[in-house]
């Protein structure tokens, strides 16, 4: 990709060999004094190179539950930033090509793609058992499919690069039609499905599996409006009997319950931070970003930061018993409001919440379980990228679209029943079921990795924020928001570095540079 941001030569694998993923198969020690000629000789070499691809998941701009979730939830207005000009811009729907959030997502995804390309190209020529080679290549193809599916979802046409970078690589590449990018994603995921096991055991827990690829492929078909294919892949996954819903919503996110049956794919972490604050990290900061600022070290790492907080109008969306009493179990599992006691800690939110704790009166406890183990300032909770609950919601939406509405309601009720809610009526119309799917997405998947994108693919975003954002009248609805499908801007730094790139419609200066 771009000269400075996106092409990572093979030597990067030597530099970035993982010490930062959560499970044993990713805990590769850094190697020194390596040469290209001496690498890709052993199974350990191949796994180390694969670990460098997984490493991209953890980086800011990857799947660490901050940058992507900000795009997904600040835009719809259900979450509020307490600081950070870059994030407040996104919250105000000012999509600035110079905003570092767009740049880092673009850069990190192409970094992961570059590393995946190297694995996919080099491992076939190694003297390893075919089964081992195929499993390593299958994982790299799943990850490449994940990276490209996110890029084209956000930016539309993006350069499709499938070769390992070398001295002859052309850096000034043009954008590839999204239809071709999606076709490659589908092929990568089909290859992964054919080569990966349904689940891994023991030290290999955390690797991408066949069910990971099935879930992502179903989601790709969903985004393209290919309902029958979504149903087919969802049913293949469900039929494996590998996954199900955890009984208690909060337990899905608990570190002690990692690799639970609901996790289809997750970014792996540990309670250390050998990689430091920047590029590569063992742990993350979601606990302190969630906890009220200044709550104290006995309750949260760094004493709490409350960087982002739920908005009150989102809290009002939880179902009640008719007398304003919330009956949805997910509220107690992930929200702390005035007078509420933390599920695990001897901490109760004051009836009058200090502005420093939260400007809205609420904090999110989904990632906040108390101080981290061993007095670590960094959390080792794995971060779900795809959960089985989302698989069921995707399946329900597709069933509804092909007229199998009663079956769609059954899938919705599985998710609702876990939350302690009654079944939906069986006689709902197709439109009402679609609304119910999106309502469940809004609550069930809050501050995870998809909601704006789901609204956007159905053309519901502007209608949603007009109905649900109290500040809608104060927002500037820019030209890029009026497109049939809203695309984020190509980062200005990449336009400057590559004169062959063009900007997306609706942004000033629809050319490179």
432-470 pLDDT, tens digit per residue, is: 999 999 999 999 999 999 999 999 999 999 999 999 999
Asked whether 214 and 233 are in contact (CB, 8 A), the reply is yes
Residue that the structure tokens 């460098």 belong to: 52
Count Cβ atoms below 10 Å from residue 441 Cβ, excluding itself.
21
Confidence (pLDDT) at 376: 67
* Of 511 and 4, more confident: 511
Quick one: average pLDDT of 266-286? 68
Confidence (pLDDT) at 283: 79
Quick one: average pLDDT of 285-314? 93
Confidence (pLDDT) at 113: 97
**Half-sphere exposure for 305 (CA within 13 Å, toward CB):** 16
Q: Which two tokens stand for residue 142?
A: 């799943």
Quick one: average pLDDT of 487-503? 97
Q: At what angle do helices 405-418 and 430-444 cross, to 10 degrees?
A: 30
Task: Please state, rounded to an integer, the average pLDDT across all residues of the chain.
Answer: 90
Give residue 512's pLDDT band: very low, low, confident or very high (50, 70, 90): very low
Instruction: Specify the DSSP class assigned to residue 407.
Output: H
Residue 29 reports pLDDT greater than 60: no
Query: Measuring CA to CA, how many Å separate 201 from each of 14, 198, 204, 405?
Result: 27, 10, 6, 37
Residue 275 reports pLDDT greater than 60: no
Give residue 22's pLDDT band: very low, low, confident or very high (50, 70, 90): very low
Q: Which percentage of the chain shows pLDDT scores above 70?
A: 88
Residue 230 reports pLDDT greater than 80: yes
Query: Measuring CA to CA, how many Å separate 421 from each of 23, 375, 414, 448?
Result: 35, 38, 10, 21
Residue 383 reports pLDDT greater than 50: yes
Confidence (pLDDT) at 272: 63
Query: What would the pLDDT profile of 385-413 be if each residue is shown by its tens digit?
Result: 999 999 999 999 999 999 999 999 999 99
Confidence (pLDDT) at 28: 45
β-pairing verdict for 79-81 and 363-364: unpaired
Residue 9 reports pLDDT greater than 90: no
Q: Which helix (H) or strand (E) element contains residue 488?
A: none
Residue 381 reports pLDDT greater than 80: yes
Residue 506 reports pLDDT greater than 60: yes
Query: What would the pLDDT profile of 64-110 be if each residue is shown by its tens digit?
Result: 888 999 999 999 999 999 988 999 999 999 999 999 999 999 999 99
Asked whether 394 and 230 are in contact (CB, 8 A), the reply is yes
Nearest to 388 by CA among 190, 215, 206, 236: 215
Span of 202-206, 213-217, 327-331 with lowest mean pLDDT: 202-206
* Of 305 and 510, more confident: 305
CA 412/CA 207 separation, integer angstroms: 28
Confidence (pLDDT) at 374: 64
Count Cβ atoms below 10 Å from residue 427 Cβ, excluding itself.
9
CA 218/CA 226 separation, integer angstroms: 9
Confidence (pLDDT) at 36: 61
Report domain extents, the chain.
285-377
CA 98/CA 488 separation, integer angstroms: 12
Q: Which percentage of the chain shows pLDDT scores above 90?
A: 81
Residue 35 reports pLDDT greater than 70: no
Quick one: average pLDDT of 53-67? 92
Confidence (pLDDT) at 375: 60
Nearest to 3 by CA among 160, 173, 151: 173
Residue 239 reports pLDDT greater than 50: yes
Residue 10 reports pLDDT greater than 60: no
pTM of the model: 0.92
Residue 111 reports pLDDT greater than 70: yes
């Amino acid at each position: 990709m771009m000269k400075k941001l996106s092409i990572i030569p093979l030597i990067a694998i030597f530099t970035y060999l993982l010490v930062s993923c959560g499970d044993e198969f990713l805990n590769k020690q850094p190697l020194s004094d390596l040469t290209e000629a001496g690498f890709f000789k052993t199974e350990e070499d191949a796994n180390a190179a694969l670990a460098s691809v997984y490493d991209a998941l953890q980086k800011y701009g990857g799947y660490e539950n901050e940058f992507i979730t900000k795009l997904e939830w600040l835009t719809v207005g259900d979450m509020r930033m307490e600081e950070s000009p870059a994030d407040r811009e996104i919250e105000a729907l000012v999509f600035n090509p110079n905003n570092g959030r767009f740049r880092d997502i673009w850069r990190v995804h192409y970094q992961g793609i570059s590393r995946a390309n190297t694995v996919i190209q080099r491992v076939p020529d190694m003297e390893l058992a075919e089964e081992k080679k195929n499993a390593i290549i299958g994982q790299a193809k799943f990850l490449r499919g994940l990276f490209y599916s996110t890029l084209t979802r956000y930016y539309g046409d993006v350069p499709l690069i499938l070769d390992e970078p070398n001295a002859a690589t052309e850096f000034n590449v043009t954008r590839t039609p999204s239809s071709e990018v999606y076709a490659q994603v589908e092929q990568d995921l089909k290859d992964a499905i054919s080569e990966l096991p349904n689940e891994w055991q023991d030290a290999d827990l955390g690797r991408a599996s066949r069910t990971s690829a099935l879930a992502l492929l179903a989601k790709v078909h969903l985004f393209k409006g290919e309902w029958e294919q979504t149903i087919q892949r969802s049913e293949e996954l469900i039929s494996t009997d590998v996954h199900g819903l955890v009984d208690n919503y909060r337990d899905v996110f608990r570190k002690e319950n990692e690799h639970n049956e609901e996790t289809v794919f997750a970014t792996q972490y540990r309670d250390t931070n050998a990689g430091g604050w920047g590029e590569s990290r063992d742990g993350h900061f979601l606990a302190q970003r969630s906890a009220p600022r200044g709550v104290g070290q006995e309750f949260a790492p760094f004493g709490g930061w409350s960087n982002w907080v739920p908005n009150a109008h989102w809290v009002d969306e939880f179902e009640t018993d008719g007398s304003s009493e919330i009956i949805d179990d997910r509220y107690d599992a992930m929200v702390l409001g005035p007078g509420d006691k933390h599920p695990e800690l001897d901490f109760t939110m004051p009836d009058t919440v200090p502005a420093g704790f939260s400007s809205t009166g609420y904090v999110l406890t989904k990632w906040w379980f108390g101080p981290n183990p061993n007095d670590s300032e960094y959390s080792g909770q794995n971060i779900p990228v795809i959960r089985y609950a989302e698989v069921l919601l995707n399946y329900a939406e597709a069933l509804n679209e092909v007229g199998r509405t009663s079956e769609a309601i059954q899938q919705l009720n599985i998710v609702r029943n876990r939350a302690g809610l009654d079944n939906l009526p069986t006689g709902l119309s197709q439109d009402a079921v679609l609304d119910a799917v999106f309502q469940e997405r809004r609550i069930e998947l809050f501050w995870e990795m998809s909601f704006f994108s789901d609204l956007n693919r159905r053309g519901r975003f502007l209608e949603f924020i007009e109905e649900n954002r109290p500040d809608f009248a104060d927002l500037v609805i820019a030209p890029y928001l009026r497109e049939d499908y809203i695309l984020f801007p190509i980062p200005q730094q990449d336009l400057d570095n590559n004169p062959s790139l063009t900007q997306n419609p609706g942004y000033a200066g629809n050319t490179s540079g």
